[in-house]
Amino acid sequence: MSDIEQCLPLGKPTRYQDSYDPTLLCPFPRQIKRDEIGLAKELPFGGFDLWTAYELSWLNRTGKPVVAVGEFRFACDTPYLIESKSFKLYLNSFNQTRYPDVAVVAEQMREDLSRASGGEVKAELWGVEDSSRLQVGVLPGDCIDDLDIEVADYRLNPQVLVGAADDESVVAEELHSHLLKSNCLVTSQPDWGSVLIRYQGGKIDREALLRYLISFRRHNEFHEQCVERIFVDLLRFCRPQKLTVYARYTRRGGLDINPFRSNFEEDIDSIRLVRQ
């Protein structure tokens, strides 16, 4: 068993706890995987990880259950990301705990997640009747999934991006794909996602880009790490002056993770997709 597997609850028998316990949160150092792609402490991007939690519940003052949806925003420069299974276990620990109102619950979660990640986390909870918060939308720009390409290799291969940018044709465009699939770093369970790439620079060959994204199909890495790897590979091989990479992953255990990285944008819309 690797050092990573030993420190994470993934893939291990778990007894679900329904009384509040912040020690269930399992931080994972971001720098471990950043070292693999040559990222020093000074990052070439800003951004955040946007989590949506669909399975939230606790008890009110009189013991009646309350249910809600939550959104949590972790800045990408926090020293730690939160391993998703531990996040789920932590949220479930609220199930049989009494709180006076939703604001107290949100503040408790904000404090715990900020402490675990090593940086300020934004937490917002709202009622399930507020359907306006999570309307299904579509990613902007051109979808490249209908390109008629032949694919024979499903191992991560950034080399397909070599020469993919035409420096003589400078463009600003938005491209997206729903064919992103990677696997959990520890359990190898499939992670399904859609990715938006917004850039300005030499025009990127769309077939090469699609082959590159498909090459993640057997790659084992957490969602946040995949997005950072895509950003770094595009920056290294295609050299855009401006670059945003934003992925929307399908949920597991009532949680979806949506990492956003950019060297020119500070924020992006939370676009819930049909698979989410």
Which H, E and C letters describe the chain, residue by residue? CCHHHHCCCCCCCCCCCCCCCHHHCCEEEHHHHHHHCCCCCCCCCEEEEEEEEEEEEEECCCCCEEEEEEEEEEECCCCEEECHHHHHHHHHCCCCCECCCHHHHHHHHHHHHHHHHCCCEEEEEECCCCHHHHCECCCCCEECCCCCCCCCCCCCCHHHHCCCEEEEEEEEEEEEEEEEEEECCCCCCEEEEEEEEEEEEEEECHHHHHHHHHHHHHCECCHHHHHHHHHHHHHHHHCCCEEEEEEEECCECCEEEEEEEECCCCCCCCCECCCC
Catalytic position from the list 184, 226, 233, 238? 184
Catalytic position from the list 49, 191, 233, 256? 191
Residue 143 annotated to the active site: no
Residue 191 annotated to the active site: yes
- Positions marked active-site: 184, 191
